[in-house]
Structure 1
Amino acid sequence: MDRITAAEVFVTIAERGSLTAAADGLDMSRAMVTRYLAQMEAWSGARLLHRSTRRISLTSAGEAALARCRQMLEIAGQMAVTDGPEAETPRGLLRVACAQVLAQQVLGAAMTAFLKRYPATAVDLVVDGRTVNLVEERIDLAIRITEQLDPSLIARPLGICPSVLCAAPSYLAAHGTPRDVTELAVHNCLTYSYFGKSLWKFKDAASGEPSAVAVGGNLSANDSMTLLAAAREGAGIAMQPVFAAAPLIASGQLVRLLPGHEAQTLDIYGVYNSRRQMPAALRVLIDFLVDWFATHLAT
């Protein structure tokens, strides 16, 4: 880990009196602050802070470390900073976490284009449906599609993810086609475990009036692609990202339902550890993805 940043984190903890206050002051996640503190103690070979439920205080080793850290930061601040083109050339490996549906349908092409534009960079895609721990798993960027992001996370909106209601012709032939959102309550709806499992939300395309219906069915999953495949096979009605369902709708394997009602739109976020000292490669990747999602996600 960067010793200069670790020193800055430790000094900020000491000055502000808590890890949470230091995280706020540094615009950094609390988990990242904790990691830097742990690394400082590992380098020092001693506990640097006394912790209680109400306050923290420096140990004798912490007092000595604080003086050295302040001296280190003063020297670092006096050093000339290279401002040539090489200083900001995006380079290095980025670990990016995302769900399977986003990786296969969107990010495979997006990362290919990114790497062509920035050939000195490399990307390790960590494809996993669960919410990863950025610090423990050394993730630079986690891309999440969600209805509501935890406000404690450091994140940048990357785009929106419109949804579409769809079902296979075989299901509709056997069970009928819903003509109104209220009719979904009597259909077999394939639900996603992470959000909206029992309540699907819509907006009237003409008036903008919101509506919601409680749904249920005999199949739920924490993976969107599993539900998409089940819908294609006639298992029931699914609410899917437009970018995932559009090719199957175009080919006739799925039918779009209730076009007069816009299905719920979710937000896409890029979650990362800190806005401070962000590597050039990560900064340009986030900017690139904002442009990519705006251009390539169908509505």
Structure 2
Amino acid sequence: MKTIFFKELKFNRKPLILWSAIMLLLGLFGGAEYPVVMSSVDTLETSLAALPKIARVMFGVYDRFPLATPIGYIMCMFLWYTMVAFAHAAIVGASIISKEEGNKTVEFIFTKPFPRSKVISAKIGVAVLNVAVMTLITWIISIFTMVFQVKDTSINGEISLIMIGMFLTQLMFMAFGLMFSAIFQKGTTALRCSILVVILSYVISVFIEYTGIYGLTFLSPSWYFNAPGLVSNGFNLFYFLFAVLIIFLSIGVTYKKYEKRDLYC
């Protein structure tokens, strides 16, 4: 299992570096824009007030956390961070198990003297590590680009809280990807379904924020640990347990379905 783990880690190294570079560039851009935003606060707030509410919600601007404040700016940037992080998690989950069939290399790994469950476990371990690295990079970028600029370490705790929430949400999208890759024969179908779940989750969360219909929150994993809710109220125990349940059920389905699947070379 160790051999498979490290081989998978090596195989996924380049994609992880690429995604990390995208996140780094996004963070550096956000950090560089912060002084510009702060220097034209009055003009910016007037322009934002003129926008429809739906536009402000879509771009992560919340009335209760003004963009002119450090935490308000972080929440706006957090929306863009999550778009990258959630897409990455979904793609990793959907591709890490099914890629052998797509590459026609099934016989090189599944004919080894290992139970199929051990191969899957090693791959899931690498997927979780990839997701954790993306979260860590995002957290470090947020600290270096914001805390040092505003010279206020009090927001460090809020950033850390948001990052933990992001990590849990990433794990959910990763688990969905794993499940789809076990259910569907074609890796492309699993990938499309995983990305679709991420998009639908974002659309539903925007709809909830805009309309205030909070009865739909369970339909959007993006909402369970949204930044405004975490900063205002901390973690919601129900959503935390529900997220853990989703992760374990999805991974459980992955093991069960993939154990019985016919693999095509």
Greater relative contact order (Cα < 8 A, sep 6+): 2
Whose radius of gyration is greater, 1 or 2?
1
TM-score norm. by structure 1 comes to: 0.20
TM-score by length of structure 2 reads: 0.22
Q: Give the structure with the larger helix fraction.
A: 2
